[in-house]
Amino acid sequence: MTLPPERIIQNSGLLQTRGLVTHMPNEMDLALPSHNMFSASSHTLPTIDLHSAHLGEQVVSACRDWGFFQVHNHGIPPELLNRLRAHAHCFFELPLQQKERVAACKSNNFYGYGVSKARTYFPNDWMEAFDMEWTPISRVRRHVQQVGLAHARYEDFCGAVEDYASKTEKLAVRLTEQVALGLGLDATAFSRHFEESTTSTVRMNYYPPHPNPSRTLGISPHSDFNIFTILLHDTVPGLQVLKDGKWITVKPSPDTLVINVGDTFQAWCNGRIKSVMHRALVNATEPRLTVVHFFGPHPDTMIVPPAALVDNDNPLRYRSFAYKEMVEQIMHIRGKSVFESPLTSFLL
């Protein structure tokens, strides 16, 4: 469905839609590719069956070569995924005034609802988001309660998020074990650090249609700073991954989950796997929805590569740091016009 004219207000070079504000670049700016342009090259995002043999080797290969992969047979029922998508769509279709009851800016907090200025590194991205804290203490119900949904809908919304997050949390831990095995380590080399506590956020992202999609982005190029990010998408394409200097559009498959490595895990594995740049496109006719689980360790967890990953051929690349230092570094670089990888601050 195209964006109705009454939802668009042109004012002093800024386009305001659904509470979003973006700068409209001039004619000298390079146009972005079509939102549904899939690469004709041999590059295809790796898809891994979690029931297959030699799983650790497959996961490490994908993390090393791409930093991204898709998984199926992940054990999360399609009914739950569809239920979660439905609740996310319903939330973003609420009146702006109602969504702003849980606005992140009210408490100067990261969690809650916000448009691009409050949610991402770049203030001009074309998206809305609703962030809910999952661990170390779940505040999902507190966040959703402020929206003012009817009781039955509130309970089902919270139940869907909690059920999904508990399952994707376990999936993230399992994937760290597969990385450890694929690198020749004990399976618990990383996962033992998650036994007592983790730091995780569930975010619903919404990318409204844009009247000039070739001149803006849903999310600008960036890497994630955590351990693993698990993304559930709908049928509308938009995610692009940087591979060998080219942007590869990920063709969405609703029953799969997209996984990507975070900066912290790259450092923890001494660079044996990689966190890569990615971005999101928008289009003129269809909204796009994703639900993202950002999985990380407890803030005090020390990120020190296992000794087996450091040798003459693979010298230590990053100084040891507490995970909270990585978070502080991210907060420092937010709002800059060009993304800086937080890993540069930890290089030896």
pLDDT digits (tens, 9 = 90+) for 68-86: 999 999 999 999 999 999 9
Integer Cα distance of 140 and 144 in angstroms: 6
First to last CA, the chain: 51
142 is an active site residue? no
The mean per-residue pLDDT over the stretch 47-72 comes to 97
Q: Which domain, by its residues, includes 159? A: 29-346
Alpha-carbon Rg for the chain in angstroms: 20
The C-alpha angle with vertex 167 and arms to 78 and 100, in degrees rounded to 5, equals 85
Determine the pLDDT at residue 194: 97
Q: Report whether 335 contacts 123 (CB < 8 A).
A: yes
Q: Is 8 within the bounds of a domain?
A: no
Determine the pLDDT at residue 10: 28
Amino acid, res. 313: D
Helix (H, G, I), strand (E, B) or coil at 201: strand
Q: Which of the following is catalytic: 85, 119, 288, 317?
A: 288
Instruction: Please report the DSSP string for 56-93 in residue order.
Output: HHHHHHHHHHTSEEEEES-S--HHHHHHHHHHHHHHHT
Q: Is 11 within the bounds of a domain?
A: no
Determine the pLDDT at residue 124: 72
Position 66 pLDDT exceeds 50: yes
Q: Is 16 within the bounds of a domain?
A: no
Q: Is 12 within the bounds of a domain?
A: no
**Contacts made by residues 308-317, CB under 8 angstroms, sequence distance 24+:** 308/183, 308/184, 308/185, 309/183, 309/185, 309/269, 309/270, 309/272, 310/270, 314/270, 314/271, 314/272, 316/270, 316/348, 317/267, 317/270, 317/271, 317/347, 317/348
The mean per-residue pLDDT over the stretch 214-242 comes to 93
Q: Is 307 within the bounds of a domain?
A: yes
The mean per-residue pLDDT over the stretch 307-317 comes to 96
Question: Which residues have a Cβ under 8 Å from the Cβ of 143 and sit 6 or more positions away?
Answer: 102, 111, 112, 130, 131, 132, 133
Q: Is 94 within the bounds of a domain?
A: yes
Integer Cα distance of 200 and 179 in angstroms: 19
Determine the pLDDT at residue 37: 62
Burial class (CB in 10 A: 0-12, 13-18, 19+), 86: middle
Q: Is 113 within the bounds of a domain?
A: yes
Q: Which of 165-179, 212-226, 311-325 shows the lowest per-residue confidence on average (mean pLDDT)?
A: 212-226
Place 332 in a pLDDT band, splitting at 50, 70 and 90: confident
Count of domains in the chain? 1
Q: Report whether 289 contacts 234 (CB < 8 A).
A: yes
DSSP, res 32: P
Q: Is 23 within the bounds of a domain?
A: no
CATH number of the domain bearing residue 233: 2.60.120.330
Q: Cα-flanking dihedrals φ and ψ of residue 294, to 5°?
A: -95, 115
Determine the pLDDT at residue 80: 98
For residue 47, the number of C-alpha atoms closer than 13 Å in the C-beta half-sphere is 10
